[in-house]
Structure 1
Amino acid sequence: MPIIFRTTGYYLALSLIFTSCKTVSTRGDAVDVAPIESVDSTKTSDNSARERLIREKEAKIKGYQASNNRDFDLLHTQLKVKFDYSSQTVNGEALLTLKPYAYPQDVLVLDAKDFDIHNTSILIGAEEIPLTYKYDQEKLILLLPEQVNRYDTLQVAIAYTAFPERGGKAGSAAITDTKGLYFINPEGEEKDKPVQIWTQGETVHSSKWFPTIDSPNERQTHDFFIKVPDQYISLSNGNKVDSQTNADGTRTDHWQMNLPHAPYLSALVVGEFAVIEDSIDGLALRYFVEPIYEEGAKKVFENTPEMISFFSSLLQMPFPWQKYDQVVVRDFVSGAMENTTLSIFMEALNLNEREALDSEWDYIIAHELFHQWFGNYVTTESWANLAMNEAFADYSEYLWLEHKEGRDHADMHHFNAIEQYMGEAEEKQVDLIRFYHEDSEDMFDSHTYAKGGRVLHMLRKLLGDEVFFEGLRIYLKDNAFNSVEVHQLRLALEKVSGKDLNWFFNQWFLSAGHPQLKVSWDYSQPDNVKLTLEQLQDVSRFPVFQIPFKVSIYKEGKRIEQSYTMDRAMQQFTLENGPGTDLVLFDEFSEILSTREERRGGELMKEQFRWSTSGLSRVEALDSLTSNYSDELDFLATMQAALEDSFSVVRELALHRLNRLEAEAGEVLQLEQKVLKMAEEDPNNAVRAAAIEALAGMNSGKFEQLFYRLINAPSYQVAGAALTAYLDIEDNVSEKRELYQRLKEEENIRIIAPLADYLTREKIAVEAVWMQEKLDKLDGESLYYFLGYYGDFFASVEGVSTAQAISTLGELASGHKQNYVRLAAFQSLFGFIDEAGVLTLVKSIQAAEEDEMIRQYQEYYISPYLENN
């Protein structure tokens, strides 16, 4: 991390200066003068150290990512666009209305990436005057005929052709490409794939398809006139106010956005879609999907009205825009994008009616919706402050889960986000608000998202719900249709709370790292338990954190909560818990973003599982008991309690551990009927699937008919588990073959995967065509999961040709847009590593991989073979 390097350099320089001062010493009247060479060497050392410091400080100045200067204020964009599908280009006419922001200007600089500029002009009254310009494929510099000041409003016209496929650069983990506008299957050559156009403007990619000031601190209204083939729907920001049919079989739709927003949030989508219409309190809601997914979309997006109502009530601020559309597209370069009034989602949300029963996409729908307030209505001033958009959207996932599913489910989501951040923190720890980053795409990481959301959670718990959400209302109200940086959030919360919050923002938003806590307990005085906390993080690099925290005390069947604050590196607290205490827990709900070293034996874990009101805490206890203290476990009592737990994750974990624990056969038998009932009736489909898996581990043959029947369960999650269990039963050869024939046209990965495993185990070579056809149809996570089965089949089944499999895996490993698919395909190639040319192939793929993380994984897999060759 650069800031650490600079600090080290600073201390090294001081050390050199201090050492060189000792080369001349005084002893009474006698003076020992060092040789000339030594003095010169000292001066050289001094100068070298000073020069190093100067270079570092100069680099810091140059590396600072400032908010973009606002020379002009972009007021309005009128845009007329039509598309050439064969050349994948955009022909556009833009009319921009602007005025100088503060100072007089005689040059206008616009962002316009990879255009052919046909002409530029300025409109003065009714007269259109051509403009001289300079253009370097990124910046369009217009030389104005005269100087203008902030009282002048000017209109500039530009005719151009945009080439989204030209130029470009690598994207980020969150946004994998930077073309700005994408033609999907533009000439209809790919079977079963629709023809679509869609845009992705964040961070600075709207200027790949129209000229603008592509900065998050800019605001514009706009009128987009979009010319499309008449059979297609067009979508854009704001409302469609007019539609004109043209003589050439096209249609021009006029979309008007009359509320200002940042250019990167401007969007359009073109394609064939079914539309589901909905509403909430007079606000029009629409969901657009491919026609075959219409029924599924009703389920996938069904909670949108309730989400809007919930967030509006929570923030005491209604949805701030004219309407809200949500559309699912193919080959999207991100999970989703929160364009103002028009969120675009990846194709994983294309679900049929049956698949939608297992839909778990509420979190991403809530995330993009919350952006309409945090990110669109109020927008980050610079990408350094991206957490002002993404931390809030990330935290909305918790808020919605807490409201809809309860705190236990929200806390589990929260814990998974902590784990996500901690995984990244092993590689880097940087400030949440980062004014020093090489590229704006670097900001889209688990610090900005997962850590940012957890920091907001701590802030909420510090202030309390009433003050926290009132502070957010003030923050939104005071900064409506404007750009913000982190200090505006602090000031709004201070205004409402009456508290100074600089300390919190300094350590969590403006510093790197997190506490690494060692938690110790002293139970020698049971009525006055002592808690000792120690911060173990490197304090030369990271803060000593001020940590408000809570201790839960369980006694006489009640939970008591005590609040404390740690403000030293090591500190002891006496709880004064009193007699009759059954359990004490530090930070029971894992509210603090930290690592934690805490030794708790089996007996304490039993008490934690028994008493804790936190589902997350009970999951932790059950996990520990069944992993580390199984020899101390009262198997039957613990499992009975776990299988009846109100939190589905506890029940699911218990089922997964059931057959891994050493237990008497009679004890397992006593649980059989309970597990059987869960497989049939549990309200959670993941729990039902886990129960089926547990029954298969107990005695698969005994439950053969149950498994066969549940293959027809409405939920694919349940059906897939039942199919796996049935196909794992020995014998039933003809029944399995018949089942395969009946199900082989299914397209859901939960059915495809067990069928593929069956074909591999039974070595049914004649179904190689089926394996290839399934792979060709899958994408995203489903493709990722299937690749292992595909590779195993072609690598282990005799009588199949491996050439096509190797070619297919090579193409996916080198060219697929999703890095996790590339990695899975790369791994699968090692099943063929002994075949001629495969080692050379994987070496070439690894050498060409541009994603550093993926390249490191590839190097790990390939290194043993390089050592042996």
Structure 2
Amino acid sequence: MPRAFRVLAAASVLPVVLSSALAAQASPSRTGARRAGLDVVHYEFRVDFPARAWPDTIRFEATTTATRRDAMSLSLDLAAAMHVDSTYVNGARVAFTRPGDSVRVALPKGSNDTVRVAVYYRGLPTDGLIVRRDSLLGWTAFGDNFPDRARQWLATVDHPSDKALVDWIVRAPRTHRVIANGELVEETPEAGLAGAPLVRTHWRTVRPIYTGLMVIGVSPFAVLELGETACNLAERPGCVRQSVWTSPDRRAAMPGNFARAGDIVAFFSTLVGPFPYEKLAHVASSTRFGGMENAGAIFYDQRLFVPGAISESLIAHETAHQWFGDAVTEREWPHVWLSEGFATYFAALWTEHAHGDSAFLAEMHDIRAKMLKSPITVEKAVIDTTLDDLTRVLNTNVYEKAGFTLHMLRREIGDSAFFRGIRAYYAAHRHGNALTADLQQAFERSSSRQLDWFFDQWMRRPGYVDADASWSWNQKTLQLTVTVRQGTRFAPYRLSLAVDVTTASGTMKRVRVTVPAQRLATMTVPLTLAAKPRAVLFDGDVSLLGVLRQ
């Protein structure tokens, strides 16, 4: 995590050592940035919902604790529609300004110290915190911050490069319960105005997360406990407590595929590293996404909470994000594939683990087909350095193309080097940030190979392979050769091509041949054969990103 100063706080933050490759990859951001000279280490959000039928005004207190190098002001992102009443710095009331969607306060003279800024404000957010009337539940409220919508209701540095601990202290009617990131500290009955019954709920994280993942859910929940899962496979001692939070009328349909949630966490914990957070709740919510990977509290579209609607694949995808996207977060938005590409491929890895090779290859085939149909595949690179509008940050490039690229890399360097690189990358950057160069460096170390060519052609170029392949048999030399023609639509790619050879005796042998980045290339297949093969099949392991005619 590239911070100005290391933090000492009530909960520990694991140190992260960043490589020189990361610094070399830094470039001016078109999509926001952290605050120069400041590092936010903790947020405390107090949210007060009124004890009435409809929360027409919600009161907020957002307290930001930051380490300072030499900054003389702090600008927090906050939508102009939220009404700021007052601001305090280190307990003293100070003046503030409201330039655009922000609130700015001057800081006292000083350097290399810690500052604490509190902002008191109110309003009814129109985004970020989704407050809705419900004919059965009265009203519900759900945070839905991705990618930069926390600012619509929370005063924060709303960028993934500045991760922090967070405390949620929420007062809501006794009819509702509150779910949030972290571990539950208390649920305490209180009396509101005119003695109205409220509950004060406090959640606290012990691991830093970025603002896009900082959420609450407030609803008359029915909770199904999934119990203690993935025991001895978490960062914290013991097991990973999992649960499903849904509306009372849909409680009977659970757990459905959530019955596999414990197995999914155990699988990823074994494959990557210990589960990073305090617990894992699966929540029916008002998210605009099918699922949103909020740290320790995954929010799903509530309409999916019917029998069979939430697939194992969706649960696996969002759970994989707890490691990739949450614990290891892209430092800049053009590298969001480090989140979405990983979740896409790791959901497929779950399929491979749970349902076998045939199901896995079918899923990879579907991922590739979706990528090939998308116009953005030929318009933009996966790492889109021109990105300046975060409404376009998610697309098939960062999901399907990036996920399939990880699959190709696994075939290129082999399972042992691939998963060793994954574990090293995760261990080096967990609870911090990373860029693509960090991942490349991990794979280069694990495979003892230079991989610039791989990341350049698949991550920094638009397009895909569009090629023709054929084979021929030389009876005199008893050699099988493969010819690949490419480059008519996109520049030629260097490829690792699977060749399945059915021998004259009927035995199938698979070998890989390296195809150079040339328009026309002929390679000898490294097999000893006594006679002409019965058949030759290319890309039988579905590991070529593109179209291969044969």
SS at match of 1:156: strand
Q: Does the CA contact (< 8 Å) of 1:65 and 1:435 recur in 2?
A: no
TM-score of the two chains, using structure 2 as the length reference: 0.87
Identity of counterpart residues, as a percentage?
24
Distance in 2, matches of 1:458 and 1:348, equals 35
Q: Does the CA contact (< 8 Å) of 2:515 and 2:521 recur in 1?
A: yes
SS at match of 2:461: coil
Higher RCO, Cα 8 Å, sep 6+:
2
Correspondent of 1:116 among 60, 65, 83: 83
The aligned residue for residue 538 of structure 2 is 586
SS at match of 1:415: helix
| Structure 2 residues without counterparts, runs of 5 or longer | 1-26, 232-238
Q: Does the CA contact (< 8 Å) of 1:92 and 1:160 recur in 2?
A: yes
Distance in 2, matches of 1:267 and 1:64, equals 25
Distance in 2, matches of 1:193 and 1:525, equals 77
1:81 aligns with 2:47: yes
1:324 aligns with 2:280: yes
SS at match of 1:373: coil
Matches within 5 A, 1:147-546: 147-149=109-111, 151-165=112-126, 179-185=127-133, 188=134, 190=135, 192=136, 195-247=139-191, 248-277=196-225, 278-280=227-229, 281=231, 282-315=239-272, 317-329=273-285, 331-351=286-306, 355-356=307-308, 361-425=311-375, 428-522=378-472, 525=475, 528-539=479-490, 543-546=491-494
- Whichever residue aligns with residue 440 of structure 1, its letter is L
Aligned residues: 503
SS at match of 2:205: strand
Whichever structure has more strand as a proportion of its residues is 2
Q: Does the CA contact (< 8 Å) of 2:63 and 2:116 recur in 1?
A: yes
Matches within 5 A, 1:26-37: none
Matches within 5 A, 1:633-644: none
Distance in 2, matches of 1:199 and 1:505, equals 35
Shift in CA distance, 67/530, structure 1 to aligned 2, threshold 3 Å: farther
Shift in CA distance, 427/215, structure 1 to aligned 2, threshold 3 Å: closer
Q: Kindly report the root-mean-square deviation, in angstroms, between the aligned alpha carbons of the 2 structures.
A: 2.1
The aligned residue for residue 737 of structure 1 is none
Between Structure 1 and Structure 2, whose CA radius of gyration is higher? 1
SS at match of 1:340: coil
Distance in 2, matches of 1:164 and 1:137, equals 16
- Whichever residue aligns with residue 147 of structure 1, its letter is K
SS at match of 1:448: helix
Distance in 1, matches of 2:393 and 2:32, equals 14
Q: Does the CA contact (< 8 Å) of 1:183 and 1:197 recur in 2?
A: yes
Distance in 2, matches of 1:537 and 1:273, equals 57
Q: Alpha-carbon deviations, 1:341-399, whole Å to 9, x = none?
A: 00000124312xxx34xx56111100110111101111000111100111100111110
Matches within 5 A, 1:620-699: none
SS at match of 1:258: coil
SS at match of 2:259: coil
TM-score of the two chains, using structure 1 as the length reference: 0.56
The aligned residue for residue 64 of structure 2 is 96
Q: Does the CA contact (< 8 Å) of 1:76 and 1:96 recur in 2?
A: yes
SS at match of 1:595: strand
The aligned residue for residue 854 of structure 1 is none
Shift in CA distance, 426/260, structure 1 to aligned 2, threshold 3 Å: closer
1:561 aligns with 2:516: no
SS at match of 1:508: helix
1:141 aligns with 2:104: yes
- Whichever residue aligns with residue 414 of structure 1, its letter is M
Distance in 2, matches of 1:547 and 1:66, equals 36
Shift in CA distance, 381/405, structure 1 to aligned 2, threshold 3 Å: same
Distance in 2, matches of 1:510 and 1:491, equals 16
SS at match of 1:153: strand
Shift in CA distance, 147/301, structure 1 to aligned 2, threshold 3 Å: same
Shift in CA distance, 360/558, structure 1 to aligned 2, threshold 3 Å: farther
Distance in 2, matches of 1:369 and 1:251, equals 30
